Structure 1
Amino acid sequence: MNDESDQPGDDDDVAGNESDARIADGLAIIWEAYRLDEIPRATAAAKALVKDQSQHGEAWFWLGCCLERTGDYRAADKAFLRGTRAKVEPQNAPFRVSWRHFQAAVETAGDALPEKLKGALEEVSLVLADYAEPVLLEGFDEPELMGLFVGPERGDLLEGGAPDLSPRIYIFRRSHEHGCSSRRDFDSEVQQTLYHELGHYLGYDEDELDKLGRG
Structure 2
Amino acid sequence: MGDKSRPDRTYPPLSNEILERVDRAWEALEGGYLEEAGQDAEELMEETDEHPEVRFLLGAALLESGFPGESLEHLLACEGQVDDPVIHQFYLASALFDNLRPEDAEALFKAVLTTDPDAAPAHYGLAQSMEFVGRYAEADHHYERAHELEPEDFPMPTRMTEQAFEEVVHEALQDMPEELQPHIQKVEIVIEAMPAVESLAGEPGEDPITPGVLGLFVGPSLREGGDYDPVSLPPRVYIYQRNLERLCGTREELIYEIRLTVYHELGHYLGLTEEELEQRGLL
Q: Do they superpose with TM above 0.5?
A: yes
What corresponds to 1:199 in structure 2?
A: 267
Map 1:173-212; keep pairs closer than 5 Å.
Answer: 173-212=241-280
CA distance in structure 2 between the partners assigned to 1:179 and 1:133 by the alignment: 19
Q: Does 1:146 align with 2:214?
A: yes
Counterpart contact for 2:124–2:146, Cα < 8 Å: yes
AA aligned to 2:239 is I
Shift of 1:188: 0.9
Q: Deviations over 1:16-38 (max 9, x none)?
A: 87565443222112333xx35xx
Of residues 62-71 and 167-176 in structure 1, the stretch that sits farther from structure 2 once superposed is: 62-71
Structure ranking higher on relative contact order (CA contacts 8 Å, 6+ apart):
1
Whole-angstrom CA distance in 2 between matches of 1:128 and 1:186: 15
- Per-residue CA distance 1:68-99 (angstroms, 9 max, x = gap): 444351x4333112212445983111112111
Amino acid at match of 1:146: L
Size of the aligned set, in residue pairs, is: 201
Is residue 30–residue 46 contact of structure 1 (8 Å, CA) maintained in 2?
A: no
CA RMSD of aligned residues (A): 3.2
Partner residue in 2 for 1:113: 176
Which residue of the other structure, out of 187, 197, 217, is the alignment partner of 1:124? 187
Seq. identity, %: 28
Change in 2 beyond 3 A, CA 1:89/1:163: farther
Q: What does 1:154-169 correspond to in 2, within 5 Å?
A: 154-157=222-225, 164-169=232-237
Which range moves more in the overlay, 81-90 or 121-130? 81-90
Q: Is the 8 A contact 1:57 1:89 kept in 2?
A: no
**How many angstroms apart in 2 are the aligned matches of 1:51 and 1:210?**
45
Output the CA distance in 2 between the equivalents of 1:20 and 1:88.
Answer: 21
Whether 2:30 is the aligned partner of 1:30: answer: no
The CA distance in 2 between the partners of 1:89 and 1:182, in whole Å, is 14
Tell whether the 8 Å contact from 1:95 to 1:181 is kept in structure 2 after alignment: yes
SS of the residue 1:122 aligns to: helix
Give the aligned residue type for 1:127: V
Alignment partner, residue 66 of structure 1: 129
Contact 1:146 1:171 in 2 (8 A): yes
Other-structure match for 1:5: none
* Counterpart selection for 1:78 from 141, 147, 157: 141
Task: Quote the Cα distance in structure 2 between the aligned partners of 1:210 and 1:150.
Answer: 20
**TM-score normalised per structure 1:** 0.77
Matched letter for residue 243 of structure 2: S
Structure 2: 5+ residue runs without aligned partners? 1-18, 28-56, 58-83, 203-207
1:169 Cα deviation (Å)? 0.6
* Structure 1 residues 162 and 105: CA distance shift in structure 2, 3 A: same
Contact 1:95 1:177 in 2 (8 A): yes
Counterpart CA distance in 2 for 1:213 and 1:116 is 12
CA–CA distance in structure 1, aligned partners of residues 111 and 149 of structure 2:
16
Q: 1:150–1:169: 8 Å Cα contact kept in structure 2? A: yes
One-letter amino acid of the counterpart of residue 205, structure 1: T
Unaligned runs of 5+ in 1: 1-8
Aligned mates of 1:158, 1:25 — CA distance in 2: 40
CA-CA distance at 1:127 after TM superposition: 1.2
Q: Describe the shift of the 1:157–1:64 C-alpha distance in structure 2 as closer, same or farther (beyond 3 A).
A: same
| Residue of structure 2 equivalent to 1:6 | none
| Contact 1:57 1:88 (8 Å CA) reproduced | no
